[in-house]
Amino acid sequence: MALLTARDLSLGYDSRIIVSGLNFTVSSGDYLCIVGENGSGKTTLMKTLLGLKKPAGGQILAGDGLKANEIGYLPQQTVTQKDFPASVREIVLSGCQGRSKKRPFYSRDEKKLAEKNMDRMGIIPLARRCYRELSGGQQQRVLLARALCATGKVLLLDEPVSGLDPKVTAEMYELIAQLNHEGITIIMISHDIGSAVQYASHILHIGDSVFFGSKDEYLESSAGKNFMMQQKGGDGNDR
């Protein structure tokens, strides 16, 4: 059974519908990339999947025993975080919050989990460093470790490589692919269609035309071909 199923989903703010008629499924172990032009509703879709927003219509079904708060989330960075005095360990630990609803403090298991995930991301040496002094790539690793504390199943990544230089971007993609190999389902919003088709197993294209299918199907589809052409033409201008 699928982890997440979107059935006739429509998204929008207030009464303005941005996208409608979305149907897709995410199965365990998938690597789904959500692509589309700016303003096509990618971030809105992500917020809806996370339960931060109610869908304007249709529904999202969670299967395979996936609970709503078992989704790990890597958000885009906010202005507040750029100047936030917090150590790496504190931030990673805060990913365990969803587990300890009633308890005010972290348990030993949660501290171990945080340690394990910092190790996975290779940021143990940074544990006591201040978040705002880290480089962009290191900050993303910290937030990824935090997201891993919140889930063992699904990661939602919102433009995980925006603002990173090419070398760090490549490392980040490798890291995500490795997590996918370890069995974690990945759902990623991306501007970078080239890398999307390189790593993803499935593509969801939203915009004027909606497409959902495997990567190979996407490359054959008209939506895919057009979008690839556009991106190649306007590479680098989309930020």
Partner 1 sequence: MIDKLGMYLQYPFVRYALIVGILIALCSSLLGVTLVLKRFSFIGDGLSHVAFGAMAIAAVCDLTDEMLLVLPITIISAILLLRTGQNTRIQGDAAIAMISVGALAFGYLIMNIFSTSSNLSGDVCSTLFGSTSILTLTQKEVWLCIILSVAVVVIFVLFYNKIFAVTFDENFAKATGIKTERYNLLIAVVIAVIIVLAMNLVGSLLISALVIFPALSAMRIFRSFKGVTICSAVLSVVCALAGILISILAGTPVGSTIVAVDVAAFAVCYVAGRIGGRG
> Dihedral of CA 160/161/164/169: which sign?
positive
Q: Which of 42/205 has CB closer to partner 1?
A: 42
Q: Which of 83/222 has CB closer to partner 1?
A: 83
For residues 225 and 237, give the distance between their C-alpha atoms in angstroms, rounded to a whole number.
19
* Shortest separation between residue 73's beta carbon and partner 1, angstroms: 5
* Shortest separation between residue 85's beta carbon and partner 1, angstroms: 5
Q: Which of 49/200 has CB closer to partner 1?
A: 49
The residues binding partner 1 (CB under 8 A) are: 47, 50-52, 68-69, 71, 73, 75, 78, 80-81, 83-87, 90-91, 93-95, 97-98, 100-101, 104-106, 128-130, 133, 146-147, 150
* Shortest separation between residue 167's beta carbon and partner 1, angstroms: 26
* Shortest separation between residue 89's beta carbon and partner 1, angstroms: 8
Instruction: Say how many CA atoms lie within 13 Å of 131 toward its Cβ.
Output: 20
140, 133, 208: which is closest to 172 by C-alpha?
140
Q: Which of 9/71 has CB closer to partner 1?
A: 71
For 100-167, the three-class secondary structure string (H helix, E strand, C coil) is CCCCCCCCHHHHHHHHHHHHHCCCHHHCCCEHHHCCHHHHHHHHHHHHHHHCCCEEEEECCCCCCCHH
